[in-house]
């Protein structure tokens, strides 16, 4: 009696389990996916990246950011790289502001195609390059999972709804990360990517001139810092670049958290990390810790988590021959 009551229940559990296994595409991502098919893949990427970083170190920021923009729109499937003849690709959408380094990805791809044609996906290249620029800026190393395949669709309007805007508040940030399967901890850890790179004035100038405090300033931004930033960014400036972590813009370290704790995070989204007890505690912890902090280890873990978002594996998608167009 008991068993006949139980078995439908067990079957149900088994079905749920199987559906879960077949649906969780990331089950097929793994470290060393190209071990047999293109054993030199990661070494080739690194060789090209070493050359690039020597002549153009300022591309480290944009190339780290590119993987983030890829993963948050349709998953990590390289749709961010696709060209559109009619200006309707993700690339052409406003949140792309300052995304650059596409030609670096093309260079890596060309080198890989020479060694093992049609094997290494553009989505995996973005993931490996993001790790390599982190290492090149003296940040942490992590083993990158590979086995992603490339998507065939890129849509102008999707970045607008999937990428958190610079004016996002903490609840928006948490829910946008959660909708990608990423945790509150992933949010505060990955925001630490703002330890390298630059920003256009337009991404934070409303905090200088058009906010709710005295003379239109943002009361959550340090007032001395506001004066410094106003010197660099006049009203309406669309072109000037400002270092997000002044003084160590090319060094991956935990000083982002020191800045945020001092209310010197550049974006409203950075400042928002002080508005939630968990993210605030992490900011305080890292701002008080030494150079080789737990942040390094956390960052690797969260980058692996981000690299699993909505990936295409197995027979889904394709391996593009040229990263800026579908086969």
Q: Which residues are annotated as a binding site for heme b?
A: 194
Q: Are 242 and 216 in contact (CB under 8 A)?
A: no
Q: Is 179 in the site for ligand NAG (CB under 6 A)?
A: no
**Terminal C-alpha separation, the chain:** 58
Contact with ligand NAG (CB under 6 A) among 172, 240, 251, 258: 172
Q: Is 83 in the site for ligand NAG (CB under 6 A)?
A: yes
In whole angstroms, the minimum distance from the beta carbon of 167 to ligand NAG comes to 9
Stretch that binds ligand NAG, among 66-74, 111-119, 154-162, 276-284 (CB under 6 A): 154-162
Q: Is 193 in the site for ligand HEM (CB under 6 A)?
A: yes
Q: Which is nearer to ligand NAG, 91 or 264 (CB)?
A: 91
Q: Is 198 in the site for ligand HEM (CB under 6 A)?
A: yes
Stretch that binds ligand HEM, among 2-10, 164-172, 229-237, 286-294 (CB under 6 A): 164-172
Full DSSP string of 115-132: HSTTTS-HHHHHHHHHHH
* Catalytic, out of 46, 67, 69, 91: 69
Any idea what the Cα angle at residue 80 is, between residues 76 and 84, rounded to 5°? Answer: 140
Q: Are 289 and 258 in contact (CB under 8 A)?
A: no
Q: Which is nearer to ligand HEM, 112 or 127 (CB)?
A: 127
Stretch that binds ligand HEM, among 64-72, 221-229, 251-259, 281-289 (CB under 6 A): 64-72
In whole angstroms, the minimum distance from the beta carbon of 55 to ligand HEM comes to 16
Rounded to whole angstroms, what are the CA distances from 130 to 31, 64, 97?
15, 5, 18
Q: Is 324 in the site for ligand NAG (CB under 6 A)?
A: yes
Stretch that binds ligand NAG, among 92-100, 177-185, 252-260, 281-289 (CB under 6 A): 92-100
Q: Characterize 121-144 residue by residue with b for buried, 16 or more Cβ atoms within 10 angstroms of its Cβ, and e for exposed.
A: bbbbbbbbbbbbbbbbbebbebeb
Q: Is 251 in the site for ligand NAG (CB under 6 A)?
A: no
Residue with tokens 């990331």: 26
Q: Is 237 in the site for ligand NAG (CB under 6 A)?
A: no
Rounded to whole angstroms, what are the CA distances from 307 to 6, 70, 84, 176, 251?
39, 9, 25, 16, 22
Is residue 69 part of the annotated active site? The answer reads yes
Contact with ligand NAG (CB under 6 A) among 40, 57, 119, 158: 158
Residue 243 binds: one of ligand HEM, ligand NAG, none (C-beta under 5 to 8 A by kind): none
Cα gap 8→86, rounded to integer Å: 54
Sign of CA dihedral 56, 61, 64, 67: negative
Give me the phi and psi of 242, to 5 degrees please: -120, 140
Residue 92 binds: one of ligand HEM, ligand NAG, none (C-beta under 5 to 8 A by kind): ligand NAG
Rounded to whole angstroms, what are the CA distances from 258 to 5, 98, 181, 282?
59, 25, 27, 11
Kindly report the number of other CB atoms within 10 A of residue 285's CB atom: 16
Chain positions contacting ligand NAG, by CB under 6 A: 83, 91-94, 96, 99-100, 155, 157-158, 169, 171-172, 210, 322, 324-325
């Amino acid at each position: 009696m008991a068993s006949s009551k139980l078995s439908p229940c067990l079957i149900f559990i088994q079905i749920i389990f199987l559906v879960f296994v077949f649906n969780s595409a990331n089950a097929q991502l793994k470290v060393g996916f190209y071990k047999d098919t293109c054993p030199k893949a990661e070494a080739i990427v690194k060789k090209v990246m070493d050359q690039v970083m020597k002549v153009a170190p300022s591309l480290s920021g944009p190339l780290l950011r590119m993987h983030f923009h890829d993963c948050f729109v349709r998953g990590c499937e390289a749709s961010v790289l696709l060209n559109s003849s009619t200006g309707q690709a993700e690339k052409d959408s406003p949140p792309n502001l300052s995304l650059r380094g596409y030609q670096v990805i093309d260079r890596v791809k060309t080198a890989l195609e020479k060694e093992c044609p049609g094997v290494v996906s553009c989505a995996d290249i973005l993931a490996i390059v993001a790790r390599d620029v982190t290492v090149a800026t003296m940040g942490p190393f992590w083993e990158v999972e590979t086995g992603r395949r490339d998507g065939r669709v890129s849509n102008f309007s999707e970045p607008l709804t999937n990428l958190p805007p610079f004016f996002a508040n903490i609840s928006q940030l948490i829910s946008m990360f959660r909708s990608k399967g990423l945790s509150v901890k992933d949010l505060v850890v990955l925001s630490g990517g703002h330890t390298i790179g630059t920003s256009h004035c337009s991404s934070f100038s409303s905090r200088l001139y058009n906010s709710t405090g005295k003379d239109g300033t943002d009361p959550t931004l340090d007032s001395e810092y506001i004066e410094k930033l106003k010197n660099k960014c006049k009203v309406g400036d669309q072109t000037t670049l400002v270092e997000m972590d002044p003084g160590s813009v090319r060094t991956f370290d935990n000083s982002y958290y020191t800045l945020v704790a001092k209310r010197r995070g550049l974006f409203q989204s950075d400042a928002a990390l002080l508005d939630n007890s968990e993210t605030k505690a992490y900011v305080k912890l890292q701002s008080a810790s030494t150079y080789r902090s737990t942040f390094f280890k956390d960052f690797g873990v969260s980058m692996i988590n981000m690299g699993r978002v909505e990936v295409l594996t197995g027979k889904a998608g394709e391996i593009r021959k040229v990263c800026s167009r579908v086969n």
